[in-house]
Each structure stands twice: as structure tokens, then as C-alpha cells.
Amino acid sequence: MTRTLTVSPDQPGAYPSIGDALAAADDDAVVSVSPGTYYEALFVNDRGATIVAAEGAGTVTIDASSGAYPTVSCNSGRLELRDLVLKAGDAPVVTVDRATLSMTGCELSAGFGPAVSVASRSEFTLTRCRVTGARYGLVVDDSDGTVEGCEFSDLTEDGIIVRIGATPTIRTSTVTRCGNRGIYVYQYGRPTIEACDISQTGYAGVAVVHQSAPVLRRCRIRDTRGPAISFARGCHGTVEECTTENTGLPAIDVADGATPTIVEGTVSQRATFGAEAAQAVKQQDTARTEKLLAELEAMVGLESVKAEVRALIDELQVNEWRRSAGLPVGAVSHHLIFAGAPGTGKTTVARIYGELLAALGALPGGPFREVSRRDLVGQYLGHTAEKTAAAFDLARGGVLFIDEAYTLSRSFGSGGDFGQEAIDTLVKLMEDHRDEVAVIAAGYTGEMLQFLDANPGLASRFAKTIEFGNYSPEQLVVIVERMARRDEYLLADGVPDLLQAHFGTIERDQNFGNAREARKLFEGVRKAQAQRLRQSGQRPSLDDLRTVTVADIRAAIGR
């Protein structure tokens, strides 16, 4: 089990400094730091450590600017830094050698040294970090890693340096206000640079020398004193669909003896670049998503419903990948029509769908509110709009599930107009707040067509209609078996066959309740078993208490 050590200068039992905690820490321990400024330099060698701000980003500052050492250094170990403000003087802020580095949500600044230095075949990940002031923002020597959603600004010389065969991926990051180059690639560097925004540099946006071969995809380079991209003799690589604005000429400067591949392309005006693109990406809970999809898959039957929901989730996932690549994403409606008979799992699927939207970041994550006509329709003019808006507000962040929604479009004496008022109010709210609530309207298939005709804009508000078919007799038997297993009942031989035969005789009309029929029958079976055991005249055994017999089924169905 990972050990956590607390750092706080004034908390009894806590370590007074981060260095003290690291000295006492086991390998791979977590050091949780209370708010404050800590004037110290930290060393993590030949072991692993995680240092995290206990109360979130910006609450902990580690300041080594008055000394000659890096603020944090790691040799031959593993270092993770989260939500810290790190300051250095003439030394690097963070330096790693033959180590693994992970930094998330950190802010860094330095005087003369680089903000981050990664060397000697280290591996690193920088996510949503900000460098504001240093000689270099990031220096990568002979190492591999990922930079995503980071900002590098106000650098005395170069924003990012990639050299000595280093192969990092730099994605959706911003490099701006550099005294020399935005990104400098030399000595056989081979970075991949995607959807980055590079601007306001003293020379080239990206400079490539010494046999290097970067890949630049869909980057925006602008406001540079030198060329947007320059390739020196002997260099190659690829420039794909990059845009340049207000740069030195030529925008892409290729020296004699350089052989890069230039692929032109049209980029949408709605495309985003740099940290802006990364910020648009919603945080997703992958583990929660997979668990919910497994829960959906475990439901009895509903194969076409499952396929439709999975398709919607796939689209959301791909849209987030597109956003992370800086590609435009069209507006997506989360509102759905669930059409079908009662007892076919519409409410359960709606709950899972709402939780999936929250896990994928498509909704903030709010309550599941089930309402019907009486919850939306008022008793006098103006009352309905007020009630509908209130119900909608209570579902903010989650799902508003409208059961038997077609009743809103039916006329019930003087209340007919009020139902129409509820529909008209919903139409506007669904459009104005489509990223805050998923509205799911449910009901019989034929009646839901009438509901959609009640307002010219209503049908367009819903992404699609998902049909819930009746359960087959075999599927209803499985539902009963699951109910029995959940409550620790055992079905005796012959019971499943008798159940299937019974369910096969029930007419599938509008009164057919599907899973409700199974639930109603199982409740009757339990009562029949209880009556049989009670009348036996003796205390039943454990097996007797758990077993449902054919006689119990016959008694429950009345034959």
C-alpha cells in the first residue's frame, strides 16, 4: 500500500518541510503538501516519489530562487509533481536524468536556467503545465515523452529545445513571446508537433538544423520575425496542413540540401490550436465509462438499444479526440426519444445514459429527474411555464426523463392548452441549455409521433428515436431468474419451462408490461412459496426456504 506523508509547518505530527518528508519516505511514497511557500531545493534519487498540493493548484509554492540548485531534481528514479508552483533562480526549475517524470497542472518560472530539463533517455509527461519566464521553457536531450495542453511564454531565448535524437510528442500546446525561436530542433532531433500555436518569436517559429527531422501537423505559426519554419541543409521531415500568418518570408524557408515534405491543406476557421484546443477537451473517466457500458451490456435483450447507445458514446469519444487534435466538432444534441411499451428498460437505460454522459464529460454530472405531465403542467395560464422551467432547473447537469411524454400533447378539457405550453417551454430550454441537460422523452411508439408533431421545432431538438421492443418469453424467463438469484432463490427443475410457456400465452398489446409482468409474477411466486411453507406444519430447511417449485409457479399464475 502506498504511504502518504503530510507536510505542514504548523500541523502536529506533520513534517515541517518537504525535504524532511522525502528523507523519511519509502520508495513510491506520496508527499501531500499543505498550503504555503516552502523555500527549499528537493532531490529524488534512485527511487520514486509523488509530491502533490493537498488543496489543489496554486496553493503550494516551492521556491529555490535564492540558491544555486534546481528546485526539484531526480536521477535514476521516478518523480511525479501535481498542482505545484515551482520557482528557480539561475538553475533549472525541474531537471531529470535517466528518470521518469510526470508533471500535471504545475506553474514554473526561472531566472537564467531552463524551466524543465530532461536528459539521458528519460521518459516524461507534461500535462496542462505553464511556464512563465525562463531562459528556455523545455529542453529535451536524448529522451522521449509527451507535452500536452501546456503553455510556454516570456522566454529569454527558445521556448522548447529538442536535441540529441530526442523524439517527444508536443501536442495542443502554446509557445509565445520567445526572444529567439519558438521550437529549436537540432542534433538529429525527431519530435512530432501537433495542433500547437507558436507566436511572437524573435526569429523562426520552428528552426530545424543538424540532420533533424520533425513532423509538424496542423500547427498555427504567426507573428514571427523570422520564417514560420526553417530547414537547414541536410534536414528533412514533414509539414502537414500548417497555417502561417504575419511571418518573415518565405514562410517556410528550405535551404539547399534540405528535403522536407510539405503537404498543404485547408484548415477550418473553427479549428483550434495550442492550449486553447486542450482546454476545450473535457476530462473523461475512462474506468467509469467502461463500467457503465458493461452494466448496459448486462441488461437482458435490448440488443438494438445497446447498439444505439454505444454508437452515441462512440461519437462523443471521437469528438473529444477531434477536439484534442484541434479539429472542429459540430454541435451534438444529447436529447433522445425512447419509444416502446412499458417495462422494457427505458428508465434504466436513461439512467445509464446520463451517467455515461457525465463520465465522458459531456454533462457536468447532475441528478436524474423523472417527471410526468402533472409535474410540468399547471392549473392556470403562466403556471405551466413556471413549473416546466423549475423541473428543468432541478435536472441541470443530469437527465430530465419525461415519462408518457405524449400526454403533454393531448387535450384534457381546459388543460390541453397548458400541455402545449409545457412543450413550447421545453423546446426553448432544450436549445438554450443543450450542454447542461439531457432530455429523454418516453412513451408508446405511435403516441410519441403525435408528441413530436406538437411543435415545429420539437423533433429537431432530439438527436434520435430509440425503439425498445417487447421482451420475448425466453428473455422474460432470464429476468425472473435474475430476480430469483438476487434474492437467493433457486428455481427447481421444470420451473423455467413452465415460465416460458406462461409468458408465451400473454398477449403483446398496449397493456403488456414486459419486465413488469415478470416482476409481478415473481412477487406472486414468493407469496405462493411462503404460503406453501407456512402450511407445511414444520420449520423448513435452508434448501426449502430457497427453492421455488413448479407448484409455486402454478399457484402464482392460477393454474
| DSSP-assigned letters across all residues of 162-176 | EETT---EEES-EEE
Does position 134 have pLDDT exceeding 90, yes or no?
A: yes
CB 392 within 8 A of CB 429: yes
Look at residue 168 and give its three-state secondary structure.
coil
Best mean pLDDT range from 93-97, 462-466, 503-507: 93-97
Q: What is the DSSP letter of 367?
A: -
Does the pLDDT of residue 427 top 60, yes or no? yes
Same domain, 404 and 376: yes
Are residue 107 and residue 222 in the same domain, yes or no? Answer: yes
Q: Which residues partner with 101 through β-bridges?
A: 79, 124
* Residue 384 parent element (H or E): helix 383-394
Question: For the ranges 282-296, 498-512, 517-531, which has the lowest average pLDDT?
Answer: 498-512
Same domain assignment for residues 425 and 494:
no
Mean pLDDT of 35-49: 95
Average pLDDT over residues 507-533: 82
Tell whether 17 is covered by a domain.
Answer: no
Residue 255: give its domain's CATH number: 2.160.20.10
The SS3 call for residue 147 is strand
pLDDT digits (tens, 9 = 90+) for 59-84: 999 999 998 999 999 999 999 999 99
Q: What is the DSSP letter of 472?
A: P
pLDDT in tens, 431-444: 888 788 899 999 88
- β-strands 48-53, 42-45 pairing: unpaired
What number of other Cβ atoms are within 10 A of residue 10's Cβ? Answer: 8
Residue 32: which of 74, 70, 84 has the closest Cα? 84
Q: Which tens digits make up the pLDDT trace of 362-409?
A: 888 888 999 988 888 887 777 888 889 999 999 988 999 999 888 887
Same domain (yes/no): 380, 458: yes
414 — pLDDT class (breaks 50, 70, 90): very low
Q: How many angstroms from the chain centroid is the CA of residue 422?
A: 33
Do residues 219 and 305 both lie within one domain? no
pLDDT at 416: 47
Please, what is the end-to-end C-alpha distance for the chain in angstroms?
Answer: 60
**Dihedral angle of Cα 186, 191, 197, 200, to the nearest 10 degrees:** -10
Domain membership flag for residue 39: no
Please tell me whether residue 480 adopts helix, strand or coil conformation.
helix
Looking up residue 529, the CATH number of its domain turns out to be 1.10.8.60
Whether residue 536 has pLDDT greater than 70? yes
Containing structural domain, residue 541: 473-557
Band of the pLDDT at 137, cuts 50, 70, 90? Answer: very high
**322: in domain:** yes
Q: Look up the CATH number of the domain holding residue 311.
A: 3.40.50.300
Which residue has better confidence, 85 or 316? Answer: 85
pLDDT at residue 511 in the model: 65
Taking the C-alpha atoms of residue 74 and residue 354, their distance in angstroms, rounded to an integer, is: 44
The residue type found at 162 is V
- 300-313 confidence digits (pLDDT tens): 888 889 998 898 88
Identity of the highest mean pLDDT range in 146-150, 261-265, 326-330: 146-150
Any idea which residue has 513532423 for its cell?
A: 215
Check residues 322 and 427 and name the one with the higher pLDDT: 427
What region does 391 belong to: left with phi over 0, alpha with psi -120 to 50, or beta? alpha
Would you say residue 455 has pLDDT above 60?
yes
pLDDT at 265 over 80: no
Q: Are residues 335 and 477 in the same domain?
A: no
The residue among 133, 146, 109, 237 whose CA lies nearest residue 185 is 237
Of the candidates 302, 509, 489, which has an alpha carbon nearest to the alpha carbon of residue 499? 489
Task: Using the 3D structure, point to which of 450, 468, 486 is the last residue of a domain.
Answer: 468
Whether residue 448 sits in one domain with residue 313? yes
Compute the average pLDDT of residues 468-489: 89
Residue 429 CA to residue 417 CA, distance in Å, equals: 19
Lowest mean pLDDT among 24-38, 173-187, 365-379: 365-379
Question: Residues near 361 by Cβ (< 8 Å), separated by ≥ 6?
Answer: 282, 283, 284, 320
Q: Look at residues 108, 118, 121, 66 and name the one whose alpha carbon lies nearest to residue 89.
A: 66
Determine, yes or no, domain membership for 457: yes
Do 428 and 483 lie in a common domain?
no
Among the candidates 423, 450, 468, a domain finishes at 468
Tell me if 548 is assigned to some domain. Answer: yes
Hey, which residues does 523 pair with through a beta bridge?
none
Q: pTM for the complete prediction?
A: 0.69
Q: Do the domain assignments include residue 458?
A: yes
Checking if the pLDDT of 415 tops 80, the result is no
The number of domains in the chain is: 3
Specify the higher pLDDT residue, 479 or 332: 479
Residue 509 binned pLDDT confidence (cut-offs 50, 70, 90): low
452 & 480 share domain: no
Same-domain status, 481 and 448: no
Q: Contact 525/533 with Cβ under 8 angstroms?
A: no
Q: Report pLDDT for 413.
A: 47
